[in-house]
Structure 1
Amino acid sequence: MASRRPGHGHSSRYGRYAGGPDPLAPPVDLAEALDAIGEDVMAGYSPERAMQEFLRRGGRDQTGLDDLARRVAERRRELLQRHHLDGTMTEVRELLDRAVLEERKQLARDPMMDEGDRAFRQMQLDGLPPSTAAAVSELADYDWSSRQAREDYERIKDLLGRELLDQRFAGMKQALENATDEDRAAVNEMLADLNGLLEKHRLGEDTQADFEEFMDKHGDFFPERPANIEELLDSLAQRAAAAQRMLNSMSPEQREELMQLSAQAFGSPELMDALGQLDANLQALRPGEDWGGAEQMSGSEGLGLGDGTGVFQDLADLDELSEQLSQSYEGARMDDLDLDKLARQLGDEAAVDAQTLQRLEKALRDTGYMKRGSDGELRLSPKAMRQLGKALLRDVAQRMSGRQGQRDLRQAGAAGELSGATREWAFGDTEPWDVTRTVTNAVVRTVAEGGDARRAVSLEIGDVEVTETEARTQAAVALLVDTSFSMAMDGRWVPMKRTALALHTLIRSRFRGDHLQLIGFGRHAEVMEIEQLTALDAMWDKGTNLHHALLLANRHFRKHPNAQPVLLVVTDGEPTSHLEPDGEVFFSYPPHPLTVAYGVRELDNAGRLGAQTTFFRLGEDPGLARFIDSMARRVDGRVVAPELDDLGAAVVGSYLGSRGSRSTFGDPYGDWFGGRGFWVGD
C-alpha cells in the first residue's frame, strides 16, 4: 500500500501488503520447478523440453498438464458413454402415443358420433405406420375429435420447431415454449434478416452499420451480444457445425426419420427452408469448422436436438482443450490454454490449476531463470545454475554430515584472509561485522515494516552479517569427468553432472580464490564451462582419452604456479584413446600399451607439479580397479569407489580434504570430518 506525504507530490512510501496473500508472490515453488528442470537438463533434455516436462508432471502440490488432460479425456468418454441420440425421437413418439390413446378414448366414449365415422377414424388410427415420422406425417390432416389429443399432436410440431431452432441458437427451446404466432413470426423475420446479412457479408457488401441495425432489431436472440459480424459468425458456425456432427453421428434410419419430421416443425415448411439457407451460408463463410465429424454414442440417456448439439459443442471444446494441454504443436505456450472452456468443462479448480501453471511458466521465463541464447534456444541462466548448484550442494552437505538439515561448520576461519562471503550472525561468532550489509539489511527491513529510513534506522540481531575469513592457500582444481558412452549407458551421466555442479558452486561461493577447471574426456578431452557440461547430451562415441584430459589439467596447473594443484578424476573405464604427436586421436580396445604409457606420463607430470590426486572409480570392473590403484600409487594419490548417490559427497569431500593436510589412502572423504567444513546458506 502506497501513501503520499504532504508537500511531496511524487514521493511514495510502501509497506507490506496486508490484504491477504501477496498477489505478486510466485504462484508455485520455483525452487522445486528449477530442481526438476535442472535434473532433466543434466539428463540430456533441452531446457525448453525440461520445462515442458515439469509442467506436464506438476509438483508435489501442483496439478500438471497430464492430469488435466486425463480429466479432459475422462469427461469426453463420460459424455459418449452416458448419452444416445434418440432423445427428440423418443419424446415425439411419447407425444404421438399419448395423442392416439386420447383419441381412441374419445372415440370409445362419444355416444353422439356416427358409427360409420367412428369406424373410419379407428381404422385410420389402426393403420398408422410403425415409423414415427410417417405416422406424424399421416396424421397431419387428421380431424381430431379429442381436444387433448389435438393439443398433444400440436405439441409435436411445436417441439420439433423449438428443437430445430435450439440446434442453431442455444436456449431457443426454452425461450419459445408456449410461443404465440407472433413469436414464431418474429423468429421467421430474424432468420430472413440474418440470411440477408450473411449473404451481403459473403459478397463483401456489408458494413458495421448493417450489423448494428440487425442487432438493434434482433439482439434478444443473441444474449452473448457479439461485437461484430465475425464474432456472430464464429458463434453461429460453431453451433451449426456441432449440429451437423450430431446428424452425421445418427444412423441412416435416424437421419431419415428426423428429416421427415422436420417438415412438420411449427407446421411451417418456410422454417426448414430458412434454416437450410442459414446452414449453407455458415458452411460457405466458415469452411474450416468441422462439418464432417461423427461420434459413437452408447449411453442410455437420450439427447434432444438442442441438448445434443450442446454436447457436441462440449466434445469439440474438450478436443480443443486436449490439444492445448498436449502442448505438442509448434509454438505452443501455456497462454494458449482457454481457461474459460476449462472451467466450463472441468470446474473452476481445474482452471485455477491451469492458471497457476501459466504463471509458473511466465515466472521461469521472466524472473531470469531461463534465457534465450544467440541461436534462439532456451537455456538455464547463470541465476538458475546458481540456484540449482546450491540445492545440490545442500544435498552433498547432508550426505557428508549425516545430519539432515544441519550446517556442518559455522566457523569459516577465525583468522586469515577474507573469503569474500558474509552470513547472518549467530551466537558465538567472533568474526568482524560487514557494516555495509548490516546497515543495508536494517534499512530494507525498516522500509518494509512501514518506517521512514530517512529519519531513523534501528538495528536488530537479524540484520547483522559477519565477514568470513579463511586460513588457507589458493588451490588450482582440475575436475576430470569421463563423458564416454559407458557413462551414459550405465546411468552415471546425471550423477557426474550433479557432482560437477555441486563442486563448481562450492568453489564459486565459498572458495572464490581457488581456480576450478572442468574437463570432460571421451574420445578426446575438452575444457567446459559448467553450463556447457550440465547441458551436454550423452556422447555415444567410443573412447576414454585420459591422456588428453591430463594434458589440459597440467596446463591449468602451470597457469597458477602459486596455487596448490588438486586433481580429481571421475571415470568408469580404462583409457582407450590418446593424442598422437600430430594431434590426431588414436583409439584401441582393449587399451593399447602406448595409450596407457601416455596417460602415465602425464599423471607423473601432475605429480611433479605437486598435484594432490584422487581417482573416483565407478563400477566394479576388476581391470579398471587394478589400473586405477596402480595409477594412484604412482603419485601417492587416493582411490574412492563411491556409490552413485554418494559421488558428489565423495568429490566435494576430497576437495575439502585437499584444502587441509595432505593425505593418502584411507578415509574416502579426506580430512572432511576432522578438518574444515563449509556452510551452505539458503
Structure 2
Amino acid sequence: MTLHDRSRYGRYTGGPDPLAPPVDLSEALDAVAEDVMAGYSPRHALQEFLRRGGRNRDGLDDLARQVQQRRRDLVGRHRLDGTLDDVRKLLDTAVLEERKQLARDAMMDNTDRALREMQLQDLPASTAAAVNELASYDWQSRTARDAYEQIKDLLGREVLDQRFAGMKQALENATDQDREAVGAMLRDLNGLLAKHRRGEDTDADFQDFMARHGQYFPENPRSVEELVDALAKRAAAAQRLLQSMSPEQRDELMRLSAQAFGSGELMAQLDELDGNLQALRPGEDWSGSERFDGQDGLGLGDGTGVLQDLAELDELSEQLSQSYNGSRLDDLDLDALARQLGPDAAVSARTLAEIERAMQDGGYLRRGADGDLRLSPQAMRRLGKSLLRDTARQLSGRQGQRDTRLAGAAGEQTGSSRAWEFGDAEPWDVTRTMTNAIRRTMADGGNPRPGLRLAPEDIEVAETEARTQAAVVLLVDVSFSMAAEGRWVPMKRTALALHHLVSTRFRGDRLELITFGRYAQSMDIGSLTALPALREQGTNLHHGLLLAGRFFRRHPSMQHVLLVVTDGEPTAHLLPDGDSWFNWPPDAETIRVTVAELDRLGRSGTLATFFRLGDDPGLERFIQRLALRVDGRVVAPDVGGLGAAVLGEYLRAHVRSTYSDADWF
C-alpha cells in the first residue's frame, strides 16, 4: 500500500458524533436536584444549570460572554473606509505616474502639457470628485491608465461583493465577458424576484435560474425563498454598513459607485435588486447602524460581511439568553455558533441541548397534576443512589452496629457457610460438607468411591442472617429557622438518602417521612424534595409524634424506629379541635403534651434517636431530657454530617452484629 492509499483520520464534522458516548446526566441531575431542594422549581433549576454549565463545559452565560467579546473585537478593530483608502492610493498612483510621463514626454506640445499639469494639479480634494473628473481624461501613461482602470474594477467588485459574498475575489482579473455574465445574472435575478413578488413565479423558473447562474450562489439555495433569505440578509447588512459610515464617507462612496466597472447599468441593477429584497423581506434590519472605532480598514464587501457577523452575533445572543416564550436550546443555531466562536463552542452548546432534551424528554422531569414540572421517580432514584453513595463515604470511617446477621437463627441465607458448632440449627451446606468428607478420606489414604463416612469436622452449615423488619419514621423540622440557618437542603438530602437505602436495601422495612412546622404532615419523598422553605413560625413536635404513633400502630409486628431531626424546642402543639397553638417562649402545656406523646411511644418499645442541630444550650438540655425518658440517643452532627449520622443510627437500630458500612453500599 502506498502512502497515498493510507486512510487519514480527523475530527468528525458531519453533525453530532455518532460514536460519542451518551451525555452524562449525573452532574446536571445533582445540580438541578440541589436547587430544587433549595426551593427552586425544576424548570428554573435546569435553566440555572444550563446557564452555569458543568465542571468541564461552558454554560450559556460563558458562551454569551464570548459572543459579546467577539462583537466588541469586531467593532473595536475595524473602520469602514478601507475602500476609500484603496481608491485614494490607486488615484495617487495614477496621478503620480501621469506626471512622470508628462515630464519625460519631450515631444508633447507645451501648451497641452501645461493644461494637463493644471488639471492634475487642480483635482478636487474629494476622492470621488477627483475620480469622476478624470473619467474622460486621456492618459498618456500606460501605468497611470491601468491604475485608474483598477479603480473602476475595484469599485465594481466591491459593490458586487456587498450583495454576493466572494464576488470581489471571483471577478479579479475578470474579462468583459465575465462582467457581462454578471450583468445577465442580475437582470435574470431581478426578473425572477419581480415575478415572485407578484406571485407569478414557478419552481421551474427557479430551477432554470439556478441552472444558468448557480455558480454565483455558493449557499446552494433549494428554493426561491431560501435564495431571497440569503440575499436579503446580505443586502440589509450592506445598508447598515452605509448607515454606519460618516455622512462624508457615505457621500464619497455613493458618488464613486457611478464608476463601478465604468458603467451606470450595474448600480441600476443593484438598486432594483435592493428594492425587490426590501419588499420581500421588510422584517430585516434595513435601517440599523454600528459604530466602528478601530484601525483596520474594511472594504465594502468585507465590511458587509462584518455587519452580517454582527447581526448573527446579535441573534446568537438572543438565542443564548433563552428569555423569550417557548425558548429551548434546540433553537440555537449551532452552525452560526461554530462560525463565530469555533467548533468547541458548538460542541458545548450541543451538549447542553442534549442535557436539556434528556432531562425533559428522557423521564427525569415530569409534569405534575398542577401542571408544574417535578423530579420524576426515576430522577429521585438516581439522585438517592448518588446521595447514598456520598453518605457511605462519610460512614466508611465510623464504627458501630450496622446490620443484624445472627448465625444460629433461621433466616435469609447469605451464600456463605461455616463449620458446624454444637447447638447450630441452620441447614447443612451439603456440597461443602461432602467435599470436606472426600478431601479428608483421600488425605487419610481411603477411597471415597464405595461410600463416605462423615465426621463432625466435615459438616458446614449455611449461614443465615436474621433481619428485623422495622417501621421507621423520619421526623424532620421544617420551621423557618431550618432554612434561615442553612439546614434546609442537608435535611432533604438526608431524607432522600434514607428513602433510597430503605427502598433498595431494606425492602421489608416501612418508612414514613413526616415534616413538622406549625403543623405536621406525612409526605412522599417527591413532595418533601420539592417543598419550598416555609416562613411560618412554630415547631409542632407534638403533632409529628401523633402522626408517628398512628404509623407505628399500622405496623405492630415491626420494630419501631423514630428518628427526629430538629433545631429548636417545641413551640406549638395540636389542640383538640385541630388548631395549632403557638407560643414563644415554649408554653408549659406544649411541653407537657409533647412529652406525654413521646412517653406513649416509649412504652410501646420505640427506639428513638434525636438529631440536634445547632449549639443552643437550652435546646441541648431539652433534647437530652427527652432522650432519657425513652432510653433514646442524642446525636449532634454538623450540618454536613447529618446524612451519615441519620443513616448510621438507622442501621445501628436495625442490626445486632457489627459489619462494615461498605457491606451495604
Q: Secondary structure at the match of 2:563?
A: strand
User: Residue 156 and residue 605 in structure 1: after superposition, are their counterparts in 2 closer, same or farther (change >3 A)?
Assistant: same
> Does structure 2 conserve the Cα–Cα contact (< 8 Å) formed by 1:56 and 1:65?
yes
> Does structure 2 conserve the Cα–Cα contact (< 8 Å) formed by 1:409 and 1:679?
no
User: Residue 281 and residue 564 in structure 1: after superposition, are their counterparts in 2 closer, same or farther (change >3 A)?
Assistant: same
User: Residue 647 and residue 111 in structure 1: after superposition, are their counterparts in 2 closer, same or farther (change >3 A)?
Assistant: same
Offset of residue 372 of structure 1: 3.3
Q: Give me the whole-angstrom Cα distance separating, in 1, the residues matched to 2:218 and 2:661.
A: 71
For residue 159 of structure 1, what is the amino acid of its counterpart? L
Q: What are the superposed Cα offsets for residues 463-510 of structure 1, whole Å, 9 maximum, x if unpaired? A: xxxx99641322111111111222111111110001001111111111
Name the structure 1 match of 2:57: 62
Q: What are the superposed Cα offsets for residues 582-636 of structure 1, whole Å, 9 maximum, x if unpaired? A: 2122333333333333322322222222221111111122232232222222222
Name the structure 2 match of 1:351: 346
> Where does the alignment leave 5 or more consecutive residues of structure 2 unmatched?
1-15, 421-425, 428-461
Q: Give me the whole-angstrom Cα distance separating, in 1, the residues matched to 2:406 and 2:365.
A: 36
Q: Give me the whole-angstrom Cα distance separating, in 2, the residues matched to 1:605 and 1:202.
A: 87
> Does structure 2 conserve the Cα–Cα contact (< 8 Å) formed by 1:416 and 1:472?
no
Choose which of 542, 545, 549 in structure 2 pairs with 1:550: 545
Q: Give me the whole-angstrom Cα distance separating, in 2, the residues matched to 1:644 and 1:352.
A: 38
Q: How does 1:627-638 map to 2 (within 5 A)?
A: 627-638=622-633
Q: Give me the whole-angstrom Cα distance separating, in 2, the residues matched to 1:413 and 1:373.
A: 45
Q: Give me the whole-angstrom Cα distance separating, in 2, the residues matched to 1:114 and 1:293.
A: 55
User: Residue 212 and residue 574 in structure 1: after superposition, are their counterparts in 2 closer, same or farther (change >3 A)?
Assistant: same
Q: Give me the whole-angstrom Cα distance separating, in 2, the residues matched to 1:588 and 1:613.
A: 26
Choose which of 503, 506, 530 in structure 2 pairs with 1:511: 506
> Does structure 2 conserve the Cα–Cα contact (< 8 Å) formed by 1:409 and 1:678?
no
For residue 579 of structure 1, what is the amino acid of its counterpart? L
Offset of residue 677 of structure 1: 4.5
Q: What are the superposed Cα offsets for residues 360-383 of structure 1, whole Å, 9 maximum, x if unpaired? A: 333434543333334443332222
Q: What are the superposed Cα offsets for residues 350-406 of structure 1, whole Å, 9 maximum, x if unpaired? A: 323333333333343454333333444333222221221122112212112228xx9
Q: Give me the whole-angstrom Cα distance separating, in 2, the residues matched to 1:429 and 1:521.
A: 51
> Does structure 1 conserve the Cα–Cα contact (< 8 Å) formed by 2:403 and 2:655?
no
Q: Give me the whole-angstrom Cα distance separating, in 2, the residues matched to 1:480 and 1:334.
A: 41
Name the structure 2 match of 1:105: 100
For residue 220 of structure 1, what is the amino acid of its counterpart? Q
Name the structure 2 match of 1:563: 558
Choose which of 267, 275, 278 in structure 1 pairs with 2:270: 275
Name the structure 1 match of 2:386: 391
Offset of residue 648 of structure 1: 0.5
Q: What are the superposed Cα offsets for residues 150-188 of structure 1, whole Å, 9 maximum, x if unpaired? A: 221121111111111101011111111122222222222
User: Residue 88 and residue 643 in structure 1: after superposition, are their counterparts in 2 closer, same or farther (change >3 A)?
Assistant: same
Q: Secondary structure at the match of 1:679?
A: helix
> Does structure 2 conserve the Cα–Cα contact (< 8 Å) formed by 1:557 and 1:609?
no
Name the structure 1 match of 2:149: 154
Q: Give me the whole-angstrom Cα distance separating, in 2, the residues matched to 1:679 and 1:203.
A: 79
Structure with bigger gyration radius: 2
Q: Secondary structure at the match of 2:663?
A: coil
Name the structure 2 match of 1:208: 203
> Does structure 2 conserve the Cα–Cα contact (< 8 Å) formed by 1:656 and 1:677?
no
Offset of residue 347 of structure 1: 2.3
Offset of residue 237 of structure 1: 0.8
Offset of residue 513 of structure 1: 1.3
> Does structure 1 conserve the Cα–Cα contact (< 8 Å) formed by 2:83 and 2:300?
yes
Name the structure 1 match of 2:316: 321
Offset of residue 330 of structure 1: 2.5
Q: What are the superposed Cα offsets for residues 522-569 of structure 1, whole Å, 9 maximum, x if unpaired? A: 221111101111111212222222222111111111111111211111
Choose which of 3, 27, 33 in structure 2 pairs with 1:38: 33
Choose which of 604, 608, 621 in structure 2 pairs with 1:609: 604
Which piece of structure 1 moves more, 109-118 or 163-172?
109-118
Name the structure 1 match of 2:91: 96
User: Residue 576 and residue 248 in structure 1: after superposition, are their counterparts in 2 closer, same or farther (change >3 A)?
Assistant: farther
Q: How does 1:53-452 map to 2 (within 5 A)?
A: 53-402=48-397
Which piece of structure 1 moves more, 635-644 or 320-329?
320-329
Name the structure 2 match of 1:531: 526
> Does structure 2 conserve the Cα–Cα contact (< 8 Å) formed by 1:577 and 1:586?
yes
Offset of residue 643 of structure 1: 0.5
Q: Give me the whole-angstrom Cα distance separating, in 2, the residues matched to 1:217 and 1:108.
A: 51
> Does structure 2 conserve the Cα–Cα contact (< 8 Å) formed by 1:69 and 1:322?
yes
For residue 197 of structure 1, what is the amino acid of its counterpart? L
> Does structure 1 conserve the Cα–Cα contact (< 8 Å) formed by 2:405 and 2:467?
no
Choose which of 476, 490, 499 in structure 1 pairs with 2:471: 476
Q: Give me the whole-angstrom Cα distance separating, in 2, the residues matched to 1:527 and 1:362.
A: 33
> Does structure 1 conserve the Cα–Cα contact (< 8 Å) formed by 2:403 and 2:654?
no
Q: What are the superposed Cα offsets for residues 261-298 of structure 1, whole Å, 9 maximum, x if unpaired? A: 11221222222222122112211211222223222222
User: Residue 186 and residue 578 in structure 1: after superposition, are their counterparts in 2 closer, same or farther (change >3 A)?
Assistant: same
Q: Give me the whole-angstrom Cα distance separating, in 2, the residues matched to 1:650 and 1:677.
A: 12
For residue 588 of structure 2, what is the amino acid of its counterpart? P
User: Residue 162 and residue 572 in structure 1: after superposition, are their counterparts in 2 closer, same or farther (change >3 A)?
Assistant: same
> Does structure 2 conserve the Cα–Cα contact (< 8 Å) formed by 1:58 and 1:65?
yes
Name the structure 1 match of 2:663: 679
Q: Give me the whole-angstrom Cα distance separating, in 2, the residues matched to 1:310 and 1:22.
A: 30
> Does structure 1 conserve the Cα–Cα contact (< 8 Å) formed by 2:417 and 2:463?
no
Which piece of structure 1 moves more, 136-145 or 611-620?
136-145
Q: Please provide the CA RMSD for this pair.
A: 3.0
User: Residue 363 and residue 234 in structure 1: after superposition, are their counterparts in 2 closer, same or farther (change >3 A)?
Assistant: same
TM-score, reference length from structure 1 = 0.83
Q: How does 1:649-660 map to 2 (within 5 A)?
A: 649-660=644-655
For residue 631 of structure 2, what is the amino acid of its counterpart? D
Which piece of structure 1 moves more, 192-201 or 646-655?
192-201
Q: Give me the whole-angstrom Cα distance separating, in 1, the residues matched to 2:159 and 2:172.
A: 13
> Where does the alignment leave 5 or more consecutive residues of structure 1 unmatched?
1-20, 433-466, 662-670
Q: Is 1:52 matched with 2:47? A: yes
Q: Give me the whole-angstrom Cα distance separating, in 1, the residues matched to 2:330 and 2:530.
A: 27
> Does structure 1 conserve the Cα–Cα contact (< 8 Å) formed by 2:404 and 2:654?
no
Offset of residue 427 of structure 1: 12
> Does structure 2 conserve the Cα–Cα contact (< 8 Å) formed by 1:410 and 1:679?
no
> Does structure 2 conserve the Cα–Cα contact (< 8 Å) formed by 1:411 and 1:429?
no
Q: Is 1:576 matched with 2:571? A: yes
Q: Is 1:592 matched with 2:576? A: no
For residue 647 of structure 1, what is the amino acid of its counterpart? L
Name the structure 2 match of 1:644: 639
Q: Give me the whole-angstrom Cα distance separating, in 1, the residues matched to 2:565 and 2:251.
A: 76
Paired-residue identity, %:
67
> Does structure 1 conserve the Cα–Cα contact (< 8 Å) formed by 2:401 and 2:659?
no
> Does structure 2 conserve the Cα–Cα contact (< 8 Å) formed by 1:408 and 1:678?
no
Q: Secondary structure at the match of 2:155?
A: helix
Q: Give me the whole-angstrom Cα distance separating, in 2, the residues matched to 1:283 and 1:429.
A: 94
Q: Give me the whole-angstrom Cα distance separating, in 1, the residues matched to 2:95 and 2:403.
A: 95
Q: Give me the whole-angstrom Cα distance separating, in 2, the residues matched to 1:362 and 1:418.
A: 47
Name the structure 1 match of 2:432: none
TM-score, reference length from structure 2 = 0.85
User: Residue 260 and residue 426 in structure 1: after superposition, are their counterparts in 2 closer, same or farther (change >3 A)?
Assistant: farther
